Structure 1
Amino acid sequence: MAHDHGRARRWRAVLRTPVGLTAAVLLVAVAVLAVLGPVLWGTSAEAVDTGAVLGTPSPEHWAGTDNLGRDILARTLVATRLSMVLAVCAIAVAVTAGLLLGAAPYLLGGRAGRLVAAAVNVAVAFPGLLLALFFAVVFGVGATGAVMAVGLAGAPVFARLTQTLVAQVAGRDYVSAARVAGVGRLRILLRHVLPNIAEPLVVNATIGAGGALLAFAGLSFLGLGVQSPAYDWGRLLYDGIGAIYVNPAAALAPGVAVLLAGLAFNLFGESVAKGFGVPVLVGPAAIGRRSLSRLAAEAPTEARPAEDRPADDVVLEVRDLEVVFATAAGTVRPVRGVSFDVRRGEAVGVVGESGSGKSLTALALSRLVGEDGAVRARRLRFLGHDLSAPDSPALRRMLGTSLAMVFQDPMTSFNPTRRIGRQLAEVATEHQGLGRADALARAVDRLGSVRIPDAGRRARQYPHEFSGGMRQRAMIGMGLMGTPSLVVADEPTTALDVTVQQQVLDLLAEIRAADDVALVLISHDVTVVAEVCDRVLVMYAGRIVEDLPAADLATGAQHPYTRALVAAVPHMDTDLDRPLATIPGRPVEPAQVPAGCAYAARCPLADARCRAEDPPLVPTVDGGRVACWHAGEPLPDPTVRPADELVEAP
Structure 2
Amino acid sequence: MHGRWRRVLRTPLGLTATVLVVAVLALAVLGPVLWGTGAEAVDTDDILAQPSAEHWAGTDNLGRDILLRVLVAARLSIMLALLAVVISMVVGLLLGSLPFLVGSRFGRLVSAAVNIAVAFPGVLLALFFAVVFGVGATGAVLAIGLAGAPGFARLTQTLVAGVAARDFVAAARIAGVGRVRILFRHVLPNIAEPLVVNATIGAGSALLSFSALSFLGLGVQPPSYDWGRLLYDGIGAIYVNAAAALAPGLAVLLAGLAFNLFGESVAKGLGVDVGTGPHTVHRTARIRPVDRSDRETGGAELEAAPSDLVLDVRDLEVTLPGASGPVRPVRGVTFSVRRGEAVGIVGESGSGKSLTALAITRLVGDEGRVDAARLELLGHDLRAPDTAVRRRMLGTSLAMVFQDPMTSFNPAHRIGGQLAEVAIHHQGMSRRAGLRRAVDRLSAVRIPDAPTRARQYPHQFSGGMRQRAMIGMGLMGTPALIVADEPTTALDVTVQQQVLDLLAAIRAADEVALVLISHDVAVVTEVCDRVMVMYAGRVVEDLPATDLATAALHPYTRALVAAVPDMTTDLAEPLATIPGRPVAPADVPPGCAYADRCPLATARCRDEDPPLVADPRVRPDHRVACWHAGEPLPAGQAGRNTDELVESP
The TM-score normalised by the length of structure 2 is: 0.93
Residues 1:384 and 2:382 are matched in the alignment: no
Q: Distance in 2 between matches of 1:288 and 1:42?
A: 53
Instruction: Identify which of 495, 504, 511 aligns with 1:516.
Output: 511
Unmatched 5+ residue regions in structure 1? 643-650
Q: Distance in 2 between matches of 1:237 and 1:28?
A: 24
Q: After TM superposition, give the deviation of residue 586 of structure 1 in Å.
A: 1.6
Write out aligned runs for 1:108-119 (5 A). Answer: 108-119=102-113
8 Å Cα contact 2:211/2:228 also seen in 1 = yes
Write out aligned runs for 1:122-141 (5 A). Answer: 122-141=116-135
- The one-letter code matched in structure 2 to 1:466 is F
Equivalent residue for 2:61?
67
Residues 1:332 and 2:342 are matched in the alignment: no
8 Å Cα contact 1:416/1:462 also seen in 2 = yes
Equivalent residue for 1:222?
216
Equivalent residue for 2:604?
609
Q: After TM superposition, give the deviation of residue 409 of structure 1 in Å.
A: 0.9
Q: How many residues align?
A: 631
Q: Distance in 2 between matches of 1:18 and 1:110?
A: 45
Q: Distance in 2 between matches of 1:151 and 1:281?
A: 21
Equivalent residue for 2:393?
398
**2:581 partner SS:** coil
Equivalent residue for 1:630?
628
- The one-letter code matched in structure 1 to 2:154 is R
Write out aligned runs for 1:188-587 (5 A). Answer: 188-281=182-275, 309-587=304-582
Q: After TM superposition, give the deviation of residue 280 of structure 1 in Å.
A: 3.3
Q: Distance in 2 between matches of 1:609 and 1:246?
A: 96
8 Å Cα contact 1:270/1:280 also seen in 2 = no
Q: Which moved more, 1:44-53 or 1:633-642?
A: 633-642
Q: Which moved more, 1:13-22 or 1:174-183?
A: 13-22
Q: After TM superposition, give the deviation of residue 252 of structure 1 in Å.
A: 1.4
Q: After TM superposition, give the deviation of residue 521 of structure 1 in Å.
A: 0.3
Q: Deviations over 1:352-393 (max 9, x none)?
A: 111111111111111111222222222211111221222211
Aligned CA-pair RMSD: 2.5
Instruction: Identify which of 61, 84, 95 aligns with 1:90.
Output: 84
Instruction: Identify which of 88, 92, 104 aligns with 2:98.
Output: 104
- The one-letter code matched in structure 2 to 1:229 is P
8 Å Cα contact 2:162/2:281 also seen in 1 = no
Write out aligned runs for 1:28-39 (5 A). Answer: 28-39=22-33
8 Å Cα contact 1:303/1:378 also seen in 2 = no
Fraction of identical pairs, as percent: 75
Q: Distance in 2 between matches of 1:303 and 1:597?
A: 18
Q: Distance in 2 between matches of 1:146 and 1:346?
A: 67
- The one-letter code matched in structure 2 to 1:349 is G
8 Å Cα contact 1:309/1:384 also seen in 2 = no
Equivalent residue for 2:171?
177
- The one-letter code matched in structure 2 to 1:210 is G
- The one-letter code matched in structure 1 to 2:73 is A
8 Å Cα contact 1:61/1:71 also seen in 2 = yes
- The one-letter code matched in structure 1 to 2:259 is F
- The one-letter code matched in structure 2 to 1:624 is H
Q: After TM superposition, give the deviation of residue 244 of structure 1 in Å.
A: 2.1
Q: Distance in 2 between matches of 1:575 and 1:438?
A: 58
Q: Deviations over 1:200-223 (max 9, x none)?
A: 111111111111111111111122
Q: Distance in 1 between matches of 2:190 and 2:604?
A: 53
Q: Distance in 1 between matches of 2:364 and 2:243?
A: 63
Call closer, same or farther: CA 1:117–1:301 in 2, change over 3 Å.
farther
Q: After TM superposition, give the deviation of residue 34 of structure 1 in Å.
A: 1.3
Q: Which moved more, 1:447-456 or 1:32-41?
A: 32-41
8 Å Cα contact 2:346/2:518 also seen in 1 = yes
Call closer, same or farther: CA 1:288–1:550 in 2, change over 3 Å.
closer
8 Å Cα contact 2:292/2:373 also seen in 1 = no
Q: After TM superposition, give the deviation of residue 11 of structure 1 in Å.
A: 4.6
Unmatched 5+ residue regions in structure 2? 641-649
Q: Which moved more, 1:555-564 or 1:231-240?
A: 231-240
**1:327 partner SS:** coil
Q: After TM superposition, give the deviation of residue 639 of structure 1 in Å.
A: 3.0
Equivalent residue for 1:647?
none
- The one-letter code matched in structure 2 to 1:593 is V
Call closer, same or farther: CA 1:640–1:363 in 2, change over 3 Å.
same
Q: Which moved more, 1:185-194 or 1:386-395?
A: 386-395
- The one-letter code matched in structure 2 to 1:72 is I
Q: Deviations over 1:440-468 (max 9, x none)?
A: 11111111111111111111111111111
Equivalent residue for 1:648?
none
Call closer, same or farther: CA 1:358–1:641 in 2, change over 3 Å.
closer
Residues 1:19 and 2:13 are matched in the alignment: yes
Q: Deviations over 1:115-158 (max 9, x none)?
A: 22222222222221222122222222222221111111111111
- The one-letter code matched in structure 1 to 2:203 is A
Q: After TM superposition, give the deviation of residue 403 of structure 1 in Å.
A: 0.2
Q: After TM superposition, give the deviation of residue 308 of structure 1 in Å.
A: 6.4
Q: Distance in 2 between matches of 1:214 and 1:285?
A: 30
